[in-house]
């Protein structure tokens, strides 16, 4: 019988097991970036010219109805006016007044903002290039999950996979498992044995991430989150008659080759021997099998 490999056993040939997503060249992207974001910068300038304070300026941005335009304006606002404001908060239209109350004291003076904006061309190539980077952020992760679902469905006939295959709302474990201790715990997919998505037939819960690069505190955050998720799910499963429940961490990308990421994931897998597996896309066919899920 062939000895089963651990995630750690792939390390010597780690670069052969990761997927490299294609990127775009600079400055080739500049013409398209400037064409796409010029209307955003023109509107930004118009709203800026009529604002009497930086708070008033941000509230005017929050009133823009088209979501995509409003999000881009908010990103430009963050660069010019409030680098300390979390970008995710800026996206929420309903949080505009709350953001002004919490971060408004640190907003750059409106006269200085107007002066700085006028010093730059429209379109501003540097800023357009930055905004273009946001455009593709998350795309690699969406590509990963779409391909992952395709591989797992081919690999696991008779099992039912649920979850967002590209963009979409995460699965909250409180909506799958009754009395789950952290009902708002988000995961990327759940696998059920048979066709019915009933919690009693759940055999695996999974997270999928693509790391273009990662290190330092980010690296610690990711592996710390994984340990917490694994411990939480296994504890719930053991208490609720789901002792076969497995956890799958699908990770890919060159970030796996940086720092201690590979070793950290290998440690998590060994800590919960037989219950947790870490795999890249290329490892899925030999690591995530029907025999393991049923064992």
Tokens 């393991």 label which residue?
292
My answer on whether 50 and 196 are in the same domain is no
My answer on whether 35 and 164 are in the same domain is no
Domain of residue 167, residue span: 138-294
My answer on whether 153 and 114 are in the same domain is no
My answer on whether 132 and 175 are in the same domain is no
Helix (H, G, I), strand (E, B) or coil at 109: coil
**What is the C-alpha separation between 183 and 174, in angstroms, rounded?**
4
> At which of 81, 116, 136 does a domain end?
136
Angle formed by the axes of helices 96-103 and 54-62, nearest 10°: 160
Helix extents (H) in the chain:
30-50, 54-62, 67-80, 87-90, 96-103, 110-118, 125-136, 139-155, 216-239, 261-271, 284-287, 290-294
My answer on whether 276 and 145 are in the same domain is yes
My answer on whether 44 and 172 are in the same domain is no
My answer on whether 62 and 145 are in the same domain is no
Helix (H, G, I), strand (E, B) or coil at 14: helix
What are the two backbone dihedrals, phi and then psi, of residue 199, each rounded to the nearest 5 degrees?
-55, -30
My answer on whether 167 and 275 are in the same domain is yes
**What is the C-alpha separation between 180 and 177, in angstroms, rounded?**
6
> At which of 107, 136, 165 does a domain end?
136
Give the per-residue pLDDT at 138: 60
pTM (2 d.p.): 0.73
My answer on whether 44 and 152 are in the same domain is no
Identify whether the C-beta of residue 110 lies closer than 8 Å to the C-beta of residue 54. yes
Give the per-residue pLDDT at 168: 76
> At which of 103, 136, 169 does a domain end?
136
My answer on whether 85 and 113 are in the same domain is yes
Give the per-residue pLDDT at 85: 84
Mean pLDDT by 10 residues, the chain (295 residues): 83 90 83 95 97 95 91 94 83 81 93 98 95 76 85 93 85 95 95 86 93 59 87 96 94 86 93 95 94 92
Number of H helices, E strands in the chain: 12, 7
Using alpha carbons, select from 257, 288, 294 the residue that is nearest to residue 17: 257
- Whether 117 is covered by a domain: the verdict is yes
């Amino acid at each position: 019988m062939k000895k089963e490999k651990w995630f750690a056993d792939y390390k010597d040939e780690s670069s052969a097991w990761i997927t490299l997503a294609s990127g775009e060249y600079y400055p080739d992207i500049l013409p398209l970036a400037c064409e796409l974001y010029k209307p955003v910068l023109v509107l930004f300038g118009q709203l800026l010219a009529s604002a009497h304070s930086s708070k008033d300026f941000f509230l005017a941005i929050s009133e823009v109805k088209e979501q995509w335009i409003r999000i881009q304006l908010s990103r430009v606002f963050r660069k010019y006016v409030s680098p300390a404001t979390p970008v995710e908060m800026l996206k929420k239209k309903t949080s505009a007044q709350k953001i002004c109350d919490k971060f408004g004291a640190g907003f750059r003076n409106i006269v200085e903002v107007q002066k700085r904006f006028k010093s730059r061309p429209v379109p501003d190539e540097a800023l357009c290039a930055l905004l273009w980077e946001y455009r593709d952020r998350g795309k690699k992760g969406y590509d990963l999950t779409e391909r992952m679902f395709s591989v797992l469905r081919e690999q696991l006939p008779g099992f039912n996979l649920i979850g967002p295959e590209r963009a979409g709302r995460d699965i909250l474990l409180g909506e799958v498992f009754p009395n789950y201790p952290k009902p708002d715990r988000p995961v990327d997919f759940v696998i059920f044995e048979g066709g019915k998505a009933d919690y009693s037939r759940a055999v695996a819960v999974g997270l999928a991430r693509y790391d273009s690069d990662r290190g330092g505190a980010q690296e610690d955050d990711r592996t710390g989150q994984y340990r917490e998720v694994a411990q939480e799910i296994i504890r719930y499963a053991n208490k609720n008659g789901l002792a076969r429940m497995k956890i799958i961490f699908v990770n890919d990308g060159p970030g796996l080759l940086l720092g201690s990421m590979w070793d950290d994931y290998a440690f998590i897998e060994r800590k919960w021997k037989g219950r947790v597996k870490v795999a890249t896309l290329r490892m899925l066919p030999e690591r995530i099998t029907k025999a393991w899920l049923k064992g």
